[in-house]
Amino acid sequence: MVEIPKNGESSRSNSPSPKEGSIPLYLVNGVATVWDAQVAATLHCIHNVSGLRAGTLPGVSQQNGFLGLPLTLMKEETAYLVQEGIAHLVYLPTFPSLPTADEISSHTAKRIERMKKLENEARQAEESKKEISAQLFEKGGEKARLKREARAKAKAEKEAKARENQVEGEGGDSLFEKDQNTIIEDSTISLESKTILKDKNLNENITPTPSPGYFLPIPSHPLIINSNNNFLEIINKLPNSKFQFPKTKKDKALLKIFTELLKKNYRIGLGPRFGGEYLIYPGDYLRYHAHFTSQILINDQNLKPIELVAWGRLGTGTKKSSLICCYNDNQSNENNQEEEEEIEFYSLEWANFG
Amino acid sequence: MSTPSSSAEAGPSRQKPSTPQRKHASKSSPNTPAQDEEGDNPRTNLAATTSTPGGSGINGDGEGDEDGDDERIDIKLIQSFADKIQHLPSSSETDGITSRSKIIIPRRGEKDFEPLNETVNLQEMMLQKSREALFGALVGVRGGHSKAISHAIITPSNPYPKVLIIHGHLFDTIGMVVKYPSTPQQQAKGKGKTYSQIELLPEEALYLLERGTLQIWLSRDFTVEEADEGFGEWCEEEYGVKGAIEMSVMEGFATFIGREGLTWEKYQAYAYMKRLGYTIHRTRRFIPDHFLSDPSPSHTTVDMNALYPGMKPFQTWWLNIPGWISKLFKLASRKLYNLIGRINNIGLGDKRFKGTLLEGWNGNSYKSIFQHLRIIPQGHSQPPPSRSLPIQIENDSKYDILKYNPYLPFFHIWKPSATFTKRNWDKGSEIGLKECPPSYWAGVVESRNIPIPTIQQLDEVFNFLPDEPKGPIKKVGPQYIKPPRPPRPNFNNNKNDNEQQQQNHSKFINYLLSYLGIKSNNKEEIKNTNPFVNIPALRNGDRAFIVAVNDSGNTGWIRFGRSGFAEYPPV
C-alpha cells in the first residue's frame, strides 16, 4: 500500500496550488469527504470539526451503529474549513481519468511483484502453520495413543480378571489369556503406524495446492494520479459552481453563526433530531452532552410569543437550553462600506415567581 | 471489557473472511429492528446498541439521563469496534501480528499546560482514550482474502460494472443479468444469438466496493481483437484484470453517486438496509433502461403496464361508464328516499328538521342519520381536490419526476427472512412483484429542503401501492417465541372454584333482579352493540409505504399509511 497517496500529503495538481499544509477535502457530488484517519483526527482535535462517518466499517460490515471512513462534512463545516484556509476542496471527476498504457503496465508489474511476495509469504505462513499443527497433532496423537493403550490395558486386565474368575471356576488354561494380550498390543501398534501414514498422506496432499491466496486490499485512494490531466481541480474560494454553499442570505447567516460558535470554542453537531438547526457542545462530543439547541433568526425577523414558548419547551424536553442566534447583515445602510455582520446569542430559560 | 452482544453478532468476524456473507446478514437481522427504530445517527445512535445486556453502570446512567436519545458515545463501545476492524496482515503473519498504522492524536495548543503524569486530569485522560479508540477504529483496511473477493470491470462506454468473478452469496440478491446480441464473430464461434452478463447498478457497485467485497477494475474500452487476447478479463498470472487498474473507493463514490438518479441520500438509505441484511432493489420505474432492454426477438412486444407498474393503467372515458351508471342509480335512489321522506313528512307533519341538514331524513337508525349527514364524498376511491397547477414533466430522464414527487418509492425492500430470488423477482416486473412481494416500498427524501408530502403526492403514491395484508399480524422471528410457562402452582384451582362460586352468585342475583323487573339483561346488550373498531387495522391503514429521511447523512425511517375512518364506522 505504498503507492496510495495519503490525504495528509499535499496533492499534486496544475490548478491553483493550495497553501502549504492545507487539508484536501474530496468533493463527491457536492459533499466534502475525508478519506484518511489521521486527517479525521486532526480535524476533530485541532479544528473542532467532526463530520459524520459514512462508510461501512471494514471487518464489521453488517451494522449501522458505528461506521467508518469516509467522513462526510456538513456544508457549514466544509465552508468554514475552506474559508479559514484550513482546507481546500478537490473536485473528483464523475468518471475517473483513465491511465495511460505505460502507467497500467508498470502498475501491473508492481502488483504482480507485490502479490507474488504476498502469496509466498502466505504459503510460507501456511506451511509453518502446518508444521506447528502437525507437531501438535503428533503430540496429541502420542497422548491419545497413551490413553488408548491405557484404556486397552485396563480393559484387557478387566477381561483377564473376569476370565481368571471364570478360569478359576472352570479351571481353564492361561495360555489363551496371554495370546489375547499380545493381540491387543499388536493392534495398538498397527493403529499407530496407520495414523503416521495418514499424516504423511495429508502433508503430501496439501503441499502442492496452487495458491493459498493472500490478503487483497481494496484501495481507498486512487492508485495512479496522472499529471497530464485535470484529475484534481482545486477549489479555494466559495461559493463555487461545484459547491454552492454560502449563496443565499440564510446560508451566509448559517455559516457566520457556525464560525462564531466555533471561535467561541463550542463544537457543533446536527440539530434537526432535537428540533433545532444545530446541537452545541461545550467540548468534544465524545465527552460531553450538548448544552444548546439553536434557532436562527435573520435580520430582525419577527418572533411570535408562541415560538418562544415552543423553543423554551423544546429545551426543557431535551434537557438543553434553547439558543437563539440572531444574524444581522446590516445591509440596510446605503453605504456598503460598513457592511459588518452582527451576531448575537440569547439563551432561553424558564423562570417563575415563587 | 464487555463487548455489546448485538454488535458482536452483527458483523462477520475478521478471522473468517470466506464465510458466506448472506448468512451473517440474515443472522444479524433479528437483532437489528431495535437498532433501526431507535437511532438515526451513526454518530450517536450507539445508545441503542449499548442498551444490550452486559452494559455496565456507565451505560445505564447515560440511558436514564437522555431517554435513550443520548448523543454521547461510550468509549467501551468504540473500543469494541476498534478491536474488531480489519488490518493489513503484516509480512510476518505467522505470529498473528498485523501491521497497524498508528494514529497520532493531535493535541490542541502547544502552550497549554501539560500536566504531570501523577496529576493528569482524569477527564482529559478519558477524552484522550476515547479519541484514541475512535480514530483507532478508523484505520481499518478494506478488502479480504483473495479467494473471497469478487471482481468487476468498468469502462467508459458501460458505466455499469460488469461482474467477472463471483465469490460469496452477496450476488444472490445483487446485480442484474443483461442480455446483448452477439456479434457475428461470436456467433461463428458457436455462441448463441445473445449472450448475457451480470452488471451492477451504481448503488450495488458502490456498496460492494466500499464494503470491501468487490474489486472494480478500471480500463478503457477494448477492441474486439484485444478482448480476444484476454484484455478486460481476469488473468491469473497478472493477479488482476488484464489491461486495467484497481478502482479506489474514493473514485467509486465520485463515479457512482450522482449517476442514474443515485443521490447521497438514496445511497445511504440503500447501504443502511443492506448492512442490516435486507434485500433491496429499485422499483421498476427507476431501473435504468439499459437493464430493461431485451434484445431477444421473442420479447419484442413490451407490455407497457408491466414496464411501469407505477403508472395508472390506460384509461378512457368508456371505462368509466359503469361508475357513472352506479352513480346515477345512487342519485336516483337518494332522490327517491328524499321524496318518500317528504311524503312521510307531509303525512306526519314532522317539521322538526326543517332548515337543518337533517331535513328530508327519513330513517330509524343512527347509521341512516350519519349517511344523510355525509354531504362530502368520502373514501380513497374519490379523487383528492385537484391542484390548480398542472405538473409539467420534462422528459429528460426518468428521475425528473422525483422533483415533483420526491416521495415516489425508489426502492423495494424485502426482509431478510423473505424468500427472494433474482429470477422470481424478474427485475421488479408486475409478475415478479407477485412472486416476491416486497416487504416495504420505500421513498427517499432529504430532510432540510423537502417539505412534508401534499395530499396529491401521497395519493399518487398510494394509488399504485398494493393493499396491505389483512388479518392478524404474522409474528415471525425468534423475538416472538415465548418461553414455555412453568406450570402454575396448585392453589389456582381453589381460586377457580371461588370464581365459579362468585359467578354463580352473580348469576343468581341477576336472575333475581331480572325476575323482579328491576334489572334487565341490559349489560349484555350494551356489550353487543358496543362499537367494535379494529384499532390496529385502523392504525395500520390499507396501504402504506416507508420513507427514508436523510438529514445530512443520518437516515431515519418514517411510515406513511392510508387509513379512512369511514371504513371503520363505530356505529
Of residues A168 and A244, the one with the higher pLDDT is A244
Residue A287: predicted pLDDT: 78
Residue A202 contacts B, CB cutoff 8 Å:
no
A27 to chain B: closest CA residue:
B254
Q: From CA B444, how far away is CA B442, in angstroms rounded?
A: 7
pLDDT digit string, tens, across residues A220-229 = 888 876 554 5
What proportion of chain A, given as a percentage, has pLDDT over 70? 76
Provide, for chain A, the percentages of residues in helix, strand and coil under a 3-state DSSP scheme, each rounded to the nearest 5.
Answer: 45, 20, 40
Provide, for chain B, the percentages of residues in helix, strand and coil under a 3-state DSSP scheme, each rounded to the nearest 5.
Answer: 40, 15, 45
Instruction: Write out the three cell numbers for A326.
Output: 440572531
Instruction: Write out the three cell numbers for B106.
Output: 493531535
Of residues A272 and B89, the one with the higher pLDDT is A272
Q: From CA A259, how far away is CA B91, in angstroms rounded?
A: 46
Task: Collect all residues of chain B within an 8 Å Cβ-Cβ radius of residue A290.
Answer: 71
Domain segments of chain B: what residues?
A: 5-107+118-136, 150-259
Question: How far does the CA of residue A115 sit from the closest CA of chain B (Å)?
Answer: 7
Of residues B309 and A282, the one with the higher pLDDT is A282
Q: pLDDT confidence of A329, banded at 50, 70, 90? A: confident
Residues 281-340 of B with CB under 8 A from A: none
Is B164 in a helix, a strand, or coil?
strand
Task: Collect all residues of chain B within an 8 Å Cβ-Cβ radius of residue A72.
Answer: 264, 552-553
Domain segments of chain A: what residues?
A: 1-99+224-243, 101-206, 248-354
Task: Collect all residues of chain B within an 8 Å Cβ-Cβ radius of residue A108.
Answer: 238, 240, 245
Pairing between strand B150-155 and B214-218? parallel
Give the CA angle between residues A29, A33, A39 to the nearest 5°: 165
Residue B409: predicted pLDDT: 94
Give the CA angle between residues B42, B46, B52 to the nearest 5°: 145
Residue B42 contacts A, CB cutoff 8 Å:
yes
Residue B257: predicted pLDDT: 93
Q: From CA B208, how far away is CA B317, in angstroms rounded?
A: 49
B85 to chain A: closest CA residue:
A59
Instruction: Write out the three cell numbers for A261.
Output: 460558535
Task: Collect all residues of chain B within an 8 Å Cβ-Cβ radius of residue A55.
Answer: 210, 249
Residue A50 contacts B, CB cutoff 8 Å:
yes
Residue A143: predicted pLDDT: 77
Strand partners, A200: none
Residue B473: predicted pLDDT: 65
Query: Residue B22, Cβ neighbours under 10 Å: how many?
Result: 17
Q: From CA B261, how far away is CA B396, in angstroms rounded?
A: 12
Residue A343 has pLDDT above 80, yes or no: yes
Q: For an interface test with A, which of B142, B237, B263 has the most A Cβ atoms less than 10 Å from its Cβ?
A: B142
Give yes or no for a cis peptide into A70 (omega within 30° of 0): yes
Residue A207 has pLDDT above 60, yes or no: no
Residue B216: predicted pLDDT: 92
CATH class of A248-354: alpha beta
Residue A340: predicted pLDDT: 73
Question: How far does the CA of residue B250 sit from the closest CA of chain A (Å)?
Answer: 6
Whether residues A270 and B41 touch (CB distance < 8 A) is answered with yes
Residue B568: predicted pLDDT: 73
CATH class of A1-99+224-243: alpha beta
User: How confident is the prediction along chain B (571 residues), in pLDDT tens digits per residue?
Assistant: 443 333 333 333 334 333 333 334 333 333 433 333 333 333 433 333 333 333 333 333 333 334 444 455 677 788 888 888 887 765 444 333 345 566 676 665 444 444 555 555 677 777 888 888 888 888 888 888 888 899 999 999 888 999 999 998 888 899 998 888 877 776 776 667 788 889 999 999 999 999 989 999 988 888 887 777 878 888 888 888 888 888 999 999 999 999 899 999 999 999 999 999 999 999 998 999 888 876 655 444 444 444 444 444 455 556 666 667 777 777 777 777 666 656 555 545 456 677 777 777 777 788 788 878 887 777 777 777 776 555 666 667 788 888 888 999 999 999 988 888 888 888 888 888 888 899 999 999 998 889 999 888 898 899 888 888 776 666 666 777 777 776 665 554 555 555 555 556 666 555 555 555 544 444 444 445 555 677 778 888 889 999 999 988 889 999 999 888 877 766 5
Instruction: Write out the three cell numbers for B290.
Output: 439499459
Residue B222: predicted pLDDT: 84
Q: Which of A265, A352, A284, A282 is nearest to A321 (CA)?
A: A282
Whether residues A45 and B108 touch (CB distance < 8 A) is answered with yes
Question: How far does the CA of residue B147 sit from the closest CA of chain A (Å)?
Answer: 6
Whether residues B277 and A69 touch (CB distance < 8 A) is answered with no
Residue A182 contacts B, CB cutoff 8 Å:
no
Residue B175 contacts A, CB cutoff 8 Å:
no
Residue whose cell numbers read 438518479? B261
Average model confidence (pLDDT) across chain A: 77
Residue B513: predicted pLDDT: 52
Question: How far does the CA of residue A16 sit from the closest CA of chain B (Å)?
Answer: 22
Residue A161 contacts B, CB cutoff 8 Å:
no
Whether residues A60 and B10 touch (CB distance < 8 A) is answered with yes
Question: How far does the CA of residue B156 sit from the closest CA of chain A (Å)?
Answer: 8
Whether residues A55 and B249 touch (CB distance < 8 A) is answered with yes
Question: How far does the CA of residue A176 sit from the closest CA of chain B (Å)?
Answer: 54
Q: From CA A294, how far away is CA B366, in angstroms rounded?
A: 52
Residue A78 has pLDDT above 90, yes or no: yes
Residue B514: predicted pLDDT: 54
Residues of A with catalytic roles: 281, 289, 320
Whether residues B7 and A65 touch (CB distance < 8 A) is answered with yes
Residues 179-198 of B with CB under 8 A from A: none
Question: Which residue among B86, B218, B238 sits closest to A108, beta carbon to beta carbon?
Answer: B238
Residue B160: predicted pLDDT: 92
Residue B51: predicted pLDDT: 36
Residue A3: predicted pLDDT: 40
Query: Residue B476, Cβ neighbours under 10 Å: how many?
Result: 12
Task: Collect all residues of chain B within an 8 Å Cβ-Cβ radius of residue A284.
Answer: 127, 130-131
Of residues B356 and A312, the one with the higher pLDDT is A312
Residue B26 contacts A, CB cutoff 8 Å:
no
